[in-house]
Structure 1
Amino acid sequence: MTNEALAEVLGLDGEERYDFFLSQVAEEREVWILVNADNRFLKIASEDDGVEYLPVWPASDYAVNYANGTDGLVPLSLSLPDFFRKWVPGLTKDGLEVGVFPGLDKTLWITEPEEFKRDLQDAMSAF
């Protein structure tokens, strides 16, 4: 992916990135997260309201770009069946939200795991 294409998508507002995310993931059938050397996933606590969330990206390039300058975070692909079967119940049990596709402006769409799953399933039904 070119830097220009990357910057264009990252420059979209939170809602536009959410829609882009849904269409990309519906087509590719995978979600990307960041993990450290111990295979622990990146979890972020919002400073504004204290909500904890798992940031997700539609492709490796976006996750790599987000991790640029951090120490030891690498992208990890999660297949949608695994995400739906393991991650959604786990996130719900742990009280974590899903932070969809952080952008250059640091905004993102934060949603409950079950709602996120429904949105993805709706997007997949269009394919």
Structure 2
Amino acid sequence: MKINNAEINAVNKLPSNVRYEYFIKKVTDYEEVWGLFNDGWATSRGEDGSLFIPFFPKKEFAEINAEKEWASYEARSITLDDFIESWLTGMKKDGINPSIFPLGNETAAVSIDNLLKNLETELENY
């Protein structure tokens, strides 16, 4: 289900912690997470050099972020089950952090353990 420009604009104005809550609700509603892909998944580095992979709640938000160094990337979905069971486990093992719903330099910094807990809590509502 596509979202309209009014919703995109409204959500993009929210602070990162509220966008994080939106992310949790949307990915559990639609059972998919979105990233950016081009011969590999988009990544960024934190100020301390740590590696992050950005994730988005809907295709439209991922597409908006396909700019600058990610201009050649396209939005690609990951099933929520695969995200929980494979991605987050592998990322934790490899020391890669999730960057949830980044906008510019602003992102929700959350540990994989907390992200998993929040997703599982939200999934209990279904």
SS at match of 1:67: coil
Cα separation, 1, equivalents of 2:72 and 2:55: 17
Cα separation, 2, equivalents of 1:91 and 1:117: 12
SS at match of 2:23: helix
Q: Does 1:53 align with 2:61?
A: no
1:10 to 4, 9, 12: 12
Cα separation, 2, equivalents of 1:59 and 1:117: 18
Mean Cα deviation higher: 107-116 or 78-87: 107-116
Point out where structure 2 has 5 or more consecutive residues left out of the alignment. Answer: none
Q: What aligned pairs does 1:74-89 form with structure 2 within 5 A after superposition? A: 74-89=74-89
Cα separation, 1, equivalents of 2:74 and 2:54: 13
Q: What aligned pairs does 1:1-127 form with structure 2 within 5 A after superposition? A: 1-36=3-38, 38=39, 40-47=40-47, 49-68=48-67, 70-103=70-103, 106-127=105-126
Superposition TM-score, scaled by structure 2 size = 0.89
Task: Give, as a single letter, the amino acid of the residue that structure 1 aligns with 2:118.
Answer: D
SS at match of 1:109: strand
Whether the 8 Å CA contact 1:12–1:103 is kept in 2: the answer is no
Aligned residue pairs, count: 123
User: Deviation of residue 86 (structure 1)?
Assistant: 1.3
Cα separation, 1, equivalents of 2:82 and 2:113: 14
Whether the 8 Å CA contact 1:92–1:112 is kept in 2: the answer is no
Identity %: 26
Mean Cα deviation higher: 12-21 or 61-70: 61-70
Point out where structure 1 has 5 or more consecutive residues left out of the alignment. Answer: none
Task: Give, as a single letter, the amino acid of the residue that structure 2 aligns with 1:6.
Answer: I
**Which has the bigger relative contact order, CA under 8 A and spacing at least 6?**
1
Superposition TM-score, scaled by structure 1 size = 0.88
Give the root-mean-square deviation of aligned CA atoms.
1.5
